[in-house]
C-alpha cells in the first residue's frame, strides 16, 4: 500500500544532490521509504537509520535492515526489478523474508492517496521466513500489542480462509498474522504429507514462526484443522499461548467422521464456490492430490484407540478458550464441540444456530465482534 509522503514537495536523497518523488510503504510496525527519481533509478531507505543506496534500472540494490547499509549478508534487504515493473523487497538469510509489492514511480506519476478511512497499519504485508527447515509464508497486518495468529483449515491459508478477519479485525488492538502451513499455499517446497504427527508438527511450526517474528506471546484463532493445531499448541506451549479461539475442530475421529471425510475426497464433486479458491491457490492437480492424501491422513486416527487426535491433551490447555460451533456444520457434528468444551477447563462454548463450517466467513461481522470482545 502506497501513501503520499510530503505531498507536493521534492525531497533530496541523502548526499545525492538529486530530487526524488517520495512515498512511504507501511510494513509491519515500521515505515520504509522508497524514493524514485525521474530517471527511474531507485533508492531504498534502510529500516531504521535512513541509510540509502542507489540502483540503476534492472539492477539489484542492497541495504542492510536496521543497520549500516553494508552489502549482502545474513539479514540483508534486496530490492530488485526494472523501471516501471513491480519490484520486491526481500530480507535474506536466516531472518524474516519480507516482501512488499512496490510500483516504481515514473516522471509526473502521482502516488495513489489513501482514502479518508485509511489509517496507519492498515496494509497487509506478505513474507517468508525460515522455520524448522521450511520457508513458511505469512501475511501480517495491524499495529496492536496483542499478537494473533490465524490457523487455516485443510489446504488453506490467509487468502482463502481469513479474508474478513485480515481486513476487519482491529488494527489498533491486534497485530494479525495468517500463515500457510508447510506444504500449503506459498509454503512450498516441500509438498504436503500427513504422517501421524502432522498436527504436532504444525503446532510446533506455528509457535516457532511467531517466536521468529519476535512475538513474546500470541493468541491463536484456529479453524477446522487449524483448530486442532491450535489446541495442541496451547496444550504443549502453555506459557506462550495467550488466548484460544477454535471452531470446526475435533479432538478425535469416529466412523461417522470417516464417512464424512470420504465424501469430500473427490474435489471435482465440490461446489465451484468452495473449490475455486483452493484450486486457484494450488493448481487443480496438486489440490486434488493433496486432498486425497489429507483424507487418508485424517482417517488414520480413526484406527487409534478412541480415534484419538488430541483428546489426551485437552486437560493441559490452560489459557482462556472460546469454542464457536455452527449448529448446521455438515462436516463437524456438535458432539465434537461439546467434548472439547467439557475437557478444556474453563472454556466457553458459543453456538451459532445458522452457522455452518465456514461461519467466520458467512457471518463475519458477528464472528469478528465475538472474537474481539473475547480477546480484549
In degrees, rounded to 5, the angle at the alpha carbon of residue 375 between the alpha carbons of residues 199 and 187 is 35
C-alpha cell at 352: 451459532
Close Cβ partners of 5 (under 8 Å, ≥ 6 residues apart) = 22, 23, 24, 33, 111
Evaluate whether 176 touches 107 at the Cβ level (below 8 Å): no
- CA–CA separation, 139 and 126 (whole Å): 4
| CA distance linking residue 281 with residue 187, whole number of Å | 11
Active site residue 22: no
| Chain centre distance of CA 357 | 20
CB 275 within 8 A of CB 312: no
Secondary structure class of 150 (helix, strand, coil): strand
Q: Who's near 236: CB < 8 A, 6+ residues apart?
A: 200, 203, 204, 313, 316
What is the rounded end-to-end Cα distance, in angstroms, of the chain? 28
Candidate list 27, 123, 219, 224, residue with the active-site label: 224
* Grid cell 510530503 in the structure block, residue: 6
Active-site annotation holds for 296: no
Query: Could you confirm whether 239 is annotated as catalytic?
Result: no
Of 137, 146, 336, 357, the catalytic one is 357
Active-site residue numbers? 224, 329, 357
Amino acid at each position: 500500500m502506497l501513501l503520499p509522503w510530503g505531498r507536493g514537495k521534492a525531497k533530496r536523497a541523502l548526499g545525492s544532490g538529486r530530487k526524488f518523488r517520495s512515498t512511504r510503504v507501511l510494513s509491519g510496525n515500521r515505515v520504509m521509504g522508497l524514493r524514485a527519481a525521474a530517471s527511474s533509478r531507485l533508492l531504498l531507505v534502510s529500516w531504521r537509520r535512513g541509510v540509502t543506496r542507489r540502483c540503476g534500472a534492472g539492477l539489484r540494490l542492497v541495504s542492510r535492515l536496521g543497520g549500516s547499509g553494508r552489502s549482502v549478508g545474513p539479514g540483508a534487504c534486496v530490492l530488485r526489478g526494472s523501471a516501471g515493473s513491480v519490484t520486491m523487497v526481500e530480507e535474506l538469510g536466516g531472518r524474516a523474508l519480507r516482501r512488499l509489492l512496490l510500483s516504481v514511480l515514473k516522471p509526473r506519476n502521482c502516488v495513489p492517496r489513501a482514502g479518508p478511512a485509511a489509517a496507519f497499519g492498515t496494509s497487509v504485508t506478505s513474507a517468508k521466513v525460515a522455520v524448522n527447515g521450511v520457508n513458511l509464508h505469512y501475511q501480517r497486518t495491524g499495529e496492536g500489542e496483542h499478537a494473533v495468529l490465524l490457523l487455516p483449515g485443510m489446504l488453506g491459508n490467509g487468502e482463502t480462509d481469513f479474508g474478513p478477519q485480515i481486513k476487519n479485525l482491529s488494527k489498533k488492538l491486534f497485530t494479525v498474522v495468517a500463515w500457510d502451513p508447510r506444504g500449503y499455499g506459498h509454503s512450498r517446497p516441500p509438498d504436503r504429507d500427513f504422517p501421524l504427527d502432522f498436527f504436532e508438527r504444525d503446532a510446533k511450526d506455528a509457535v516457532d514462526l511467531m517466536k521468529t517474528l519476535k512475538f513474546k506471546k500470541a493468541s491463536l484463532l484456529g479453524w477446522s484443522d487449524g483448530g486442532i493445531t491450535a489446541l495442541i499448541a496451547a496444550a504443549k506451549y502453555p506459557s506462550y499461548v495467550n488466548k484460544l479461539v477454535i471452531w470446526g475442530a475435533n479432538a478425535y475421529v469416529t466412523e461417522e467422521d470417516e464417512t464424512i471425510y470420504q465424501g469430500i475426497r473427490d474435489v471435482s464433486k465440490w461446489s465451484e464456490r468452495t473449490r475455486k479458491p483452493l484450486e486457484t491457490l494450488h493448481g487443480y492437480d496438486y489440490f486434488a492430490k493433496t486432498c486425497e492424501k489429507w483424507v487418508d491422513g485424517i482417517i488414520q486416527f480413526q484406527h487409534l484407540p478412541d480415534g484419538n487426535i488430541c483428546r489426551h491433551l485437552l486437560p493441559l490447555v490452560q489459557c482462556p478458550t472460546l469454542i464457536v460451533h455452527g449448529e448446521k456444520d455438515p462436516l463437524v457434528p456438535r458432539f465434537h464441540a461439546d467434548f472439547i468444551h467439557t475437557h478444556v477447563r474453563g472454556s466457553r462454548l458459543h453456538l451459532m444456530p445458522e452457522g455452518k463450517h465456514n461461519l467466520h466467513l458467512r457471518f463475519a461481522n458477528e464472528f469478528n465482534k465475538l472474537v474481539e470482545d473475547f480477546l480484549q
